[in-house]
Amino acid sequence: MNSLQSFDYAGKRVLLRCDLNVPIKDGVITDDGRIRASLPTIQYLVSQGAAVIITAHLGRPKGERKAELSLAPVAHRLGDLLDMKVTFSQEIIGSIEAKNVKAGEVVLIENIRYEGAETSKDESERTTLAKELAAYADIFISDGFGAVHRKHASVYDVAKLLPHAPGYLVAAEIDVLKKLTQNPQRPYGVVLGGSKVSDKIGVIENLLDKVNVMAIGGGMLFTFLAAQGYEIGKSLVEVDLIPTVKELMARAEKLSVTLLLPTDIVVAPAFAADATPTIVGADSIPADQMGLDIGPVSAAAFAAAIVECKTVFWNGPMGVFEFPNFAVGTKVVAQALTQVTGISVVGGGDSAAAVRKLGFADSDFGYISTGGGASLEYLEGKELPGISVLA
């Protein structure tokens, strides 16, 4: 695989795929983390004298020009952060701005998903769009990590048409993911939470024989409690996954993996910020209550296990952190991660949002991944088309 430094960029035109899929409310960007994560590669290319044409997506416009999903506000913020002019091109195909971009200049092309061909299952449709993009440039740099698990025209097909390399962000993400899957430093702990077991089952299955400790919190823990025959009241549960969870628990025991499940739970009568929290044993959840966080004894046990580890991967909040009454478990686990002396990785959109909301700095952790779906698919052992194509 080439690296970003493999090419001489002087006088060259570079098509750069970025992940600029940021949350925007009423035209205002509410979190520019992904734009900031894209800066090092852009700055490098500009400094090397490349003419840079950026392609990216926002949301899921499904082939339609939806005004609220325009990248125009992103072009503006990108210009502010780079402290240089970023020209915005409303045209995606046949862009005059992209054709005319000069050395050291940056053009951002409108939301590539306004073109239905970007996400088409039909390879020839995607290739047609990819050819239009490739025609703008001499070299393709892939830096949109959040989209590399997608076989999309601007991620996958275009790489087949131009000399290519990963950008700094994609290289850094892959580097971290390799540390989590190939000869990790031990003990190796994984903490999983979030709402659904079904989202994480592939990760649990693939990582179970690689880790020493696996701790389960969040909404998914109740499917584990249900699998043990406990009453879970009105808590989230995926009944159809109970047999799978039972198998996983048996496999963990066989592999001598320490599977940590909460022994106490914070319950409430309703899913609401002002619902009254009560701490109960994991085996005595009242039928009319729902579990919204792991209890303090469990949080302390998870934290104690985490700080012993040399490699920790955490995905999924321990409770409904959006409500302060149910954010304590997530905070205790996050705090423990900041004390890890080896490598600590936070993955997942909501998990990253949670640690920021709870007042932690990105630098408190070894690494905060920008790509939820892409990281999880890698950890499930799946091939990422946008990475394989760069080989």
Active site residues: 34, 196, 349, 373
Tell me the backbone φ, ψ of residue 265, rounded to 5 degrees. -135, 145
User: Would you count residue 199 as binding Mg ion (CB under 5 A)?
Assistant: no
By C-beta, is 142 or 370 nearer to ligand ADP? 370
CB under 8 Å to 7, separation ≥6 — which residues? 139, 163, 165
The size of the interface with ligand ADP (CB under 6 A), counted in residues, is 20
Closest CA relative to residue 192, chosen from 178, 182, 176, 206: 206
Other C-beta atoms within 10 Å of 162: how many? 19
- Tell me if 317 contacts Mg ion by CB under 5 A: no
316 binds, among ligand ADP, Mg ion, none (CB under 5 to 8 A by kind): ligand ADP
Q: Is 166 helix (H, G, I), strand (E, B) or coil?
A: strand
Closest residue to Mg ion, judged by C-beta, is 350
Whose Cβ is closer to Mg ion: residue 233's or residue 347's?
347
Contacts of residue 366, defined as CB under 8 A and 6 or more positions apart, other chains included, come to: 176, 340, 342, 343, 344, 345
Q: How far is the CB of 29 from ligand ADP (least distance, A)?
A: 19
Site membership for ligand ADP, residue 372 (CB under 6 A): yes
What residues from 340 to 369 belong to the interface with Mg ion (CB under 5 A)?
A: 349-350
Burial (CB < 10 A; 0-12, 13-18, 19+), residue 83, is: exposed
Q: Which is nearer to Mg ion, 233 or 349 (CB)?
A: 349
Give, in degrees to the nearest 5, the angle at Cα 101 between 46 and 38.
40
Q: How many CB atoms lie within 10 A of CB 27?
A: 10
Q: Where are the beta strands (DSSP E) in 182-318?
A: 188-192, 213-216, 258-260, 264-268, 278-281, 290-294, 311-315
Is residue 37 a contact point for ligand ADP (CB under 6 A)? Answer: no
Is position 320 an interface residue for ligand ADP (rule: CB under 6 A)? yes
Under the binding rule (CB under 6 A), the answer on residue 350 touching ligand ADP is yes
Q: Which of 167, 189, 295, 348 binds ligand ADP (CB under 6 A)?
A: 348
* Residue 154 near ligand ADP by CB under 6 A: no
Query: Judged by CB under 6 A, which of 61, 167, 319, 386 binds ligand ADP?
Result: 319
Both structure tokens of 375: 């990281």
The reply on whether position 351 binds ligand ADP by CB under 6 A is yes
Say how many CA atoms lie within 13 Å of 258 toward its Cβ.
Answer: 16
Q: How far apart are CA 322 and CA 298, in angstroms?
A: 20
Omega of the bond leading into 187 within 30 degrees of 0 (cis): yes
- x/- mask, ligand ADP, residues 201-240, rule CB under 6 A, reads -----------------xx----------------x----
Q: Using the rule CB under 6 A, which residue among 31, 97, 308, 322 binds ligand ADP?
A: 322
Interacting residue with ligand ADP among 316, 371, 385, 386 (CB under 6 A): 316
Interaction site with ligand ADP (CB under 6 A) = 193-195, 199, 218-219, 236, 291-292, 315-317, 319-320, 322, 348-351, 372
> Which spans of this chain sit near Mg ion (rule: CB under 5 A)?
349-350
